[in-house]
Amino acid sequence: MGKLTGGIDNDLIGRLGNHVGRRVKGENIISMRPAKSNKPPTAAQLAQRLKFGLFTHWLRSALPILEIGYQHYEAEMSAYNMAVSENMKYAVTGVSPNFTINYSEARFSKGVLRKVSDAEIATTAGAAIEFTWGSVIGQSYSKADDQVGVIAYDPLKDEFVALMNAAVRSAEEYELQLPLDWTGDVVHCWVLVVSADSKRVSDTKYVGQLTVV
């Protein structure tokens, strides 16, 4: 059942007959309900569904990151849906039905800011990761006070630890504390950059993997 959010001349949210209303980036979008089909799905359709399920499951816990990393992408979809679409396109490996995530191609952001250079990671005692990077200051889309975000993911625990304002670009280092029960697990790490006013982001940069100690 659809709901008019303020009267006959206002937004339609939900289903009304063959129409569906929803809010997308502050706008009311009305579309036709897709017709049901009795045809069995093709192999390509099944593969696409498997990929979609893989990434919606994986990225659900990264939503706060994605809302920053894809906040300015100009498309009629949410930041989360845009991120799922991008990762389905670039970060999948394997043959159906045995798809897996290619972490080195995973994306949490898309933008024009300059990425950090020479990013590296190292383990430190007590379940922490030392992120280091180079900073090129003064060029286009690269300022000293840009905020560097750091991300770590533990596939065994299926958990993310991330901080979007870990350090300014010019600091060139940050130590990220992980849960102690991640000790002994292999984790994957990424960095991205967000401008001080949060209006711009960089593309995601994969830094590598290591074993937590």
What number does CATH give the domain 117-211? 2.60.40.10
Domain spans of the chain, in order of start: 3-32, 43-105, 117-211
Q: Give the C-alpha separation, 74 to 90, whole Å.
A: 19
Q: From residue 158, how far is each of 60, 72, 79, 161 by CA, in Å? A: 11, 27, 21, 10
β-pairing, 128-134 vs 117-124, is: antiparallel
Query: If DSSP codes are grouped into helix, strand and coil, which group holds residue 25?
Result: coil
Say what the pTM is.
0.80
Q: How does DSSP assign 37-49, residue by residue?
A: --SPPPHHHHHHH
Cα–Cα distance between 50 and 82 in angstroms, integer? 17
Tens-digit pLDDT profile for residues 124-170: 999 999 999 999 898 889 999 999 999 999 999 999 999 999 999 99
Model confidence pLDDT, tens digit, residues 100-131 = 999 999 999 999 999 999 999 999 999 999 99
